[in-house]
Amino acid sequence: MSTRKNRQNRHLGKEKPAAKEQPVVASSAEYRVRQEAGMPAALPAEAMARYVAIGDSFSEGLMDPGANGRFRGWTDRLAAKFSGIRTQAGLPETQYANLAIRGKLLAPIIEEQLPRALELEPTVVSLVGGGNDLLRPKSTPDRLAALLESGVQQCLQAGAAVILCTSSNAADGGLIEKTRGPNAILNSHIWSIARRYPNVFVIDQWGLAALRTWPAWAADRIHLTPTGHEVLSRGALNALGWEFVPDHERTLGPGEVPIPTDVPVWQAVPEGWAETEPTWQDDLAWVRRDFLPWVGRHLRGRSSGDRISAKRPELLSISAY
């Protein structure tokens, strides 16, 4: 990916420093550009001005409870890190919107969420979807890749950088392991798309060691825990060419545990996670509580996203934390 050219456009151009009256929120971390051979140019702080996330429950942030009773998730956490980078550079905080809705298939994400996202004139869009499709027998990763590429093209034509994300590696994941092959094919398409276009970045979720452990995943085995979301947000920052450098102990949110920072993010596994395995009682509880209701819902043609609206439909400032 070292052949990628750093194309400048109306959104990725230089931005004037913030006026003195702009509030600067102290972040619990410092950020620096990673300088490693072979990696694409980092997403500049100027391009973090307006971030819009689209997708399904993965980007909505399920199982990561935040303020006011709504979910937070890796996209909120990434947006806050963007604000940390920008305030560190003397720029205004990031404006952030999240249009992702649980249960959505990739076609509605592209056809319904993306046009609205582009109306907000984003400088960067995270476009993550297809996981729900691959749980259905007639879906193919090749068709999903074509949809995903059309979304990437629309974002780039509108002047926005694009963040894509591979699937996790579901080896030893029980029933979910059955999707590993199709997901691996879609992952190959994602990396290929990123090689063909400028300003497209890929989060290597497949390669994050922490997400190969059971404690990274909530009881439903589909969504990340709060710490899992934090790991992914740091992986996203890494994919964008930035390094997360804590300058003091970060205040942990509900359900979070410390993440090692003395190793690269893809190697960082919280203490005790690698040794944790589910019991047969956990498996039985999951089948009764999560799997069977999911089957019943889909047999009735219903979605978990029915009557759910986007949690953050407009661009609003987000503070660094």
Which pLDDT belongs to residue 321?
Answer: 79
Question: What's the mean per-residue pLDDT of the chain?
Answer: 82
Task: Give the model's confidence band at 298: pLDDT under 50 very low, under 70 low, under 90 confident, else very high.
Answer: low
CA distances from 142 to 50, 130, 152, 186 (A): 31, 11, 15, 7
**Helix, strand, coil distribution of the chain in percent, nearest 5:** 40, 15, 45
Buried residues in 93-114 as b, exposed as e (16+ CB within 10 A) = bbbbbbbbbbbbbbebbbeebb
For residue 290, count other CB atoms closer than 10 A to its CB: 15
| Spatial contact of 204 and 236, defined as CB atoms under 8 Å apart | no
Residue pLDDT, tens place only, 218-269: 778 688 999 999 999 999 999 999 987 665 556 788 888 999 988 999 999 9
User: In residues, how long is the chain?
Assistant: 321
Which pLDDT belongs to residue 243?
Answer: 85
Pairing of strands 312-317, 124-128: unpaired
Rounded to the nearest 5°, which phi and psi values hold at 128?
-130, 120
Rounded to the nearest 5°, which phi and psi values hold at 104?
-70, 140
For residue 78, count other CB atoms closer than 10 A to its CB: 28
Residue pLDDT, tens place only, 173-186: 565 667 788 999 99
With a CB cutoff of 8 Å and minimum separation 6, the contacts of 257 are 227, 270, 271
Which pLDDT belongs to residue 174?
Answer: 61
Which pLDDT belongs to residue 24?
Answer: 31
With a CB cutoff of 8 Å and minimum separation 6, the contacts of 256 are 226, 227, 230
With a CB cutoff of 8 Å and minimum separation 6, the contacts of 304 are 57, 102, 103, 297
Asked which of 151-165, 200-214, 261-275, 283-297 is least confident by mean pLDDT, the reply is: 283-297
20 pLDDT higher than 80? no
With a CB cutoff of 8 Å and minimum separation 6, the contacts of 261 are 244, 245, 246, 268
Model confidence pTM above 0.95 = no
- Rounded to whole angstroms, the Cα distance separating 194 from 318 reads 28
User: SS3 of 69, please?
Assistant: helix
Residue pLDDT, tens place only, 82-119: 999 999 999 999 999 999 999 899 999 999 999 999 99
